[in-house]
Amino acid sequence: MPTLRLALCQVNPTVGDIAGNADLVRRWTRKAADAGAQLALFPELMLTGYPVEDLVFRRSFVAASRAALERLAADLAADGLGELPVMVGYLDADGPPQVSADAVPGRGARNAAALLHQGGIVATYFKHHLPNYGVFDEDRYFVPGDMLTVARIGGVDVALTICEDLWQAGGPFAVARQAGVGLVLNINGSPYELNKDDVRLPLVRRRAAEAGATIAYVNMVGAQDELVYDGDSMIVSAEGALLARAPQFVEHLLVHDVELPPAKEQVDHAEELADGMRIVRAKVSDILPPAATGGMAAGGIIEPVADEAEVWQALVLGLRDYVNKNRFPSVVLGLSGGIDSAVSATIAVDALGPDRVAGVSLPSQHSSEHSRADAEDLAKRTGLNYRIEPIQPMVDTFLANMSLSGVTVENLQARVRGVILMALSNQEGHLVLTTGNKSELAVGYSTLYGDSVGGYNPIKDVWKTLVWRLAKWRNADAERRGETPPIPESSIGKPPSAELSPGQMDSDTLPAYDVLDPILIGYVDGDLGREGLIESGHDPAVVDKVLRMVDTAEYKRRQSAPGTKISIKAFGRDRRLPITNRWREHG
C-alpha cells in the first residue's frame, strides 16, 4: 500500500488580507516540507479569509484572489517547494457575474480550491453543497460546482472537497466512491459552536463510510467578527478509525502518515458522469518529495476538553482576533464589581495581556462599598490598568438642568458611564468593551446607549448561568496551576444588581437566573413556542413574563455590539427577526 505523509495546516487567515494570507501559506508549506510532508492542505477560502460576505460582489476582489493564487504557485516553486502538492482554498469567478434579463442579480463567484504543484495550478474544484442556514448565506454568493476533481498523487487517487460537501449526504462523497478514490481532502471554514466538536467526528466517520475512503479534514482557526473557527482538524480512515486529531483554538501543523490503496489503472483524461456530477481527473505526479524522516509520522490524538475550558478558549480567541485584526492597540471596559465585567476583563487579560486592558471603576452614589472594593480587587489580581472616574458630578449637572425622574435617572447614570468610556476611547485609542450577558440582552435588561455602549462584547452569547460556571472554572484552573484566581469570590457569590437605584437587585425585575435561563434557552436557542415551554414544565406565568420581555427587547438587541458566538442561536447573524412585529407568544 502507498503511504502518503499528509500535513494539515490549521492556520489563521485574515479576511481581506490576501497578500498576508498567501504569505501564511508559504511559511506553513515550508514547515510542512521540513516535516517531510508529501501533500499539504490549507483551509477553505484561505486566500481571502472567510466569510467575505458582500466583498464577493466586488470584481476587483475576486480578480485579486485569482491573481494571488497564480502568484502563490510561482512563489512556492521559487521557494523550492514546488514539488510538494498544496491544496488551498480561494475565491474564483466562473466568468463575469451572470446578468439576467429579468433584473435578478446573478451570482458569479465560486467557493473554490486549487491544487498547486511545480509552479502551476494543476487542478481546481468548486464547492458543490452550499450552506444557506444559520450564519451561512452561500446561496447568496456562490454558484455550486457540478464536478468532482480527482487528482492522482503519489499513485493514490485523491478527491478534493470543501466544507459543506461533508455535511450533506450525497454529492461529492458518494461520487468519490464511484470514482474509486483512496483519500478525500476536505478543507473547512467551519465555525465553532458549543458541542460542535462532538458532532464532527461522527459526521466525518459517516462520510468516510459513504466514500469508502480516508478523509483528511482541515479546519481554519481564529476569529472573524462574531465567528470563531476552532480548528479540530482530523484524519479518519475509511473504516472510521480516528488516526489523528489537532487541538482546538490554536494554529497547528498536523503531520501524519496514512496508508492508502493504490489507484486503479485508468485513462488519464477520462471524464465520467455520476449522480449528476462529472468526475474530472488530473494527474499530478508520481514523484513526490520523499517522506524524509525515518519511521512513521504520527500526528497524535488530542482529547476533548471540558465545556467551560472550550468556551473560555473560544471567547479569548474571539476577542483577541477582533482586537488585533482590526488593529486596536488596547481595550477599555467599565468594572462594576459584578460578575459580568469581572469575567469580561479576565477574558480580555487572557487575550491581550494586562497592559492592553484598561479597567475603569465608574462609581455613583448608588455604588456599594463592596462593588468598588471588588473592582479594585479584580484589577490587582489580573494586573490590568485601573482607574476611577466618578460619574456623580455629570449626573448631577444633567439632573440640575432637566426634569428627570424614575427609570430615566437610572438610564442616565448608565449613559454618563458610556460617554466617559467613549471619551477615553477617543482620547487614548482603546476599543470599548460592553459586557452584557446573553440573558440580559435577551430580556432587554440594559440601557440603550448606556451599558450597551461598546464595539465588542466578549460575553454576548453567554447565558448568565454559564458566566458563573466560567468564572468558577477559570478560578479553579488558576488554582490548579498554582496561580492567583483572577475573579474575586465575592463577585461570584453576591446577588446580581445594576446598582442604579437604592437597594436595586436583578431579582426585583427578573426571575432567578436558574429559572430564567432554561426558558430563554428553549425560546431563543430552541425556537420553542409558549405551549412547548409550558409542556417542558415551566410555570406559565413566568413563561409569559419572560416571553413578553424577549419579544419587546429585539429593538435594543439590534443596536448591540458584535461578540463571540458560541451557540447555535447567537444574537446577530444567526437570528433575523423583524423589529416591527406584532407576533407575541406570551398570553
CB of 148 to a copy of itself, least distance (A): 18
The bridge status of strand 183-188 relative to strand 156-162 is parallel
Residue type, 115: L
Instruction: Decide: is 561 part of the binding site for a copy of itself (CB under 8 A).
Output: yes
Residue with cell 479518519: 236
Pair 502, 515: CB distance under 8 Å: no
Q: Is the previous residue joined to 393 through a cis bond, with omega within 30 degrees of 0? A: no
439 marked as part of a ligand binding site: no
Of residues 7, 52, 73, 218, which one binds a copy of itself by CB under 8 A?
52
The piece of 184-192, 235-243, 277-285, 411-419 that touches a copy of itself (CB under 8 A) is 411-419
CB of 454 to a copy of itself, least distance (A): 9
Residue placing its CB nearer to a copy of itself in the complex, 245 or 320: 320
CB of 565 to a copy of itself, least distance (A): 13
Pair 452, 434: CB distance under 8 Å: yes
Of residues 416, 442, 550, 566, which one binds a copy of itself by CB under 8 A?
416
Q: Is 163 a catalytic residue?
A: yes
**Rounded distance, CA 162 to CA 167, Å?**
10
**Rounded distance, CA 233 to CA 219, Å?**
5
Instruction: Decide: is 536 part of the binding site for a copy of itself (CB under 8 A).
Output: no
Q: What is the DSSP letter of 57?
A: G
455 marked as part of a ligand binding site: no
Residue placing its CB nearer to a copy of itself in the complex, 247 or 454: 454
CB of 523 to a copy of itself, least distance (A): 9
The piece of 152-160, 300-308, 457-465, 552-560 that touches a copy of itself (CB under 8 A) is 552-560
CB of 535 to a copy of itself, least distance (A): 12
**Rounded distance, CA 357 to CA 10, Å?**
29
Please enumerate in sequence order all residues whose Cβ is within 8 A of that of 293, keeping only pairs 6 or more positions apart, or say none.
35, 36
Instruction: Decide: is 287 part of the binding site for a copy of itself (CB under 8 A).
Output: no
The piece of 266-274, 341-349, 436-444, 551-559 that touches a copy of itself (CB under 8 A) is 551-559
Site for a copy of itself in 130-159 (CB under 8 A): 131-134, 137, 139-140
Of residues 7, 8, 18, 343, which one binds a copy of itself by CB under 8 A?
18
φ, ψ dihedrals at 245, nearest 5°: -150, 130
**Rounded distance, CA 181 to CA 173, Å?**
10
φ, ψ dihedrals at 291, nearest 5°: -75, 85
Q: What angle do CA 214, 217, 218 make, to 5 degrees?
A: 145
Instruction: Decide: is 397 part of the binding site for a copy of itself (CB under 8 A).
Output: yes
Site for a copy of itself in 448-487 (CB under 8 A): 448-449, 453, 455
φ, ψ dihedrals at 579, nearest 5°: -75, -55
Instruction: Decide: is 240 part of the binding site for a copy of itself (CB under 8 A).
Output: no
Please enumerate in sequence order all residues whose Cβ is within 8 A of that of 290, keeping only pairs 6 or more positions apart, or say none.
36
321 marked as part of a ligand binding site: no
Instruction: Decide: is 364 part of the binding site for a copy of itself (CB under 8 A).
Output: no
Per the structure block, which three cell numbers stand in for 20?
Answer: 498576508
Per the structure block, which three cell numbers stand in for 25?
Answer: 501559506
The catalytically annotated residue of 9, 31, 138, 163 is 163
Residue placing its CB nearer to a copy of itself in the complex, 207 or 256: 207
Instruction: Decide: is 581 part of the binding site for a copy of itself (CB under 8 A).
Output: yes
Q: Which long-range contacts (CB under 8 A, 24 or more apart) does 575-582 make?
A: 575/524, 578/554, 579/554, 579/555, 581/551, 581/554
CB of 240 to a copy of itself, least distance (A): 16
Pair 316, 351: CB distance under 8 Å: yes
Of residues 293, 326, 365, 509, which one binds a copy of itself by CB under 8 A?
326
CB of 184 to a copy of itself, least distance (A): 16
Site for a copy of itself in 168-227 (CB under 8 A): 168-169, 199, 203, 206, 224-225
- Measured in residues, the chain has a length of 587
Of residues 80, 96, 105, 353, which one binds a copy of itself by CB under 8 A?
105
Pair 539, 533: CB distance under 8 Å: no
Residue type, 401: N
Site for a copy of itself in 74-103 (CB under 8 A): 100-103
Catalytic positions: 44, 127, 163
List residues forming the annotated binding site for deamido-NAD(+): 411, 440, 556
